[in-house]
Amino acid sequence: MTAEARMDPACPMAAFPFHVGGKWTGMVVVALLDGPRRFGELRQTLGIRSAKVLTETLRDMMCDGLVTRTDHQANPPHVTYELTDLGRSLLPVIDAMREWSDQRLAELLAHRQAHPATESGAAPTPTSPQR
């Protein structure tokens, strides 16, 4: 298969969670690999200042069946998030990404740095966390 015919929107590449799910989805999966985490823990781990972003990410992921939410009825509130089996099934993909990054990311970044790219904002340099 590959690129013979026209690539329709049903193509896996178009639907894959890391693109569909927003910027933080992948990191949340990684953060939850060790086991359940609380909302605040996640927030700190991921370095998210705004709660809203995390809330949205988690809601989307719940909607997609990637994580489950457990509300330990307590006061003060205590809520934990945990990977579902489906969520954990993403691990091989993440590992593939990690391995690639280990071996090749430097090369890509070097290329990028060397290029004027005709333009200033080709893509935000990941090493400089602006915003």
Partner DNA sequence: CGGCATCCTATGAGATACTG
Partner DNA sequence: CAGTATCTCATAGGATGCCG
- Tokens in use for 119? 């333009």
13 makes contact with DNA (CB under 7 A)? no
- By CB under 8 A, residue 45 contacts a copy of itself: yes
Choose between 74 and 123: whose C-beta lies nearer to a copy of itself.
123
Q: Which of 11, 15, 59, 89 binds DNA (CB under 7 A)?
A: 59
Q: Is the dihedral of CA 40, 32, 84, 51 positive or negative?
A: positive
DSSP at 49: -
Least distance from C-beta 50 to DNA, angstroms?
A: 4
Q: Where is 41: in which H helix or E strand? A: helix 39-46
Three-class DSSP category at 68: strand
Q: Would you count residue 111 as binding DNA (CB under 7 A)?
A: no
The reply to whether 120 sits near a copy of itself by the rule CB under 8 A is no
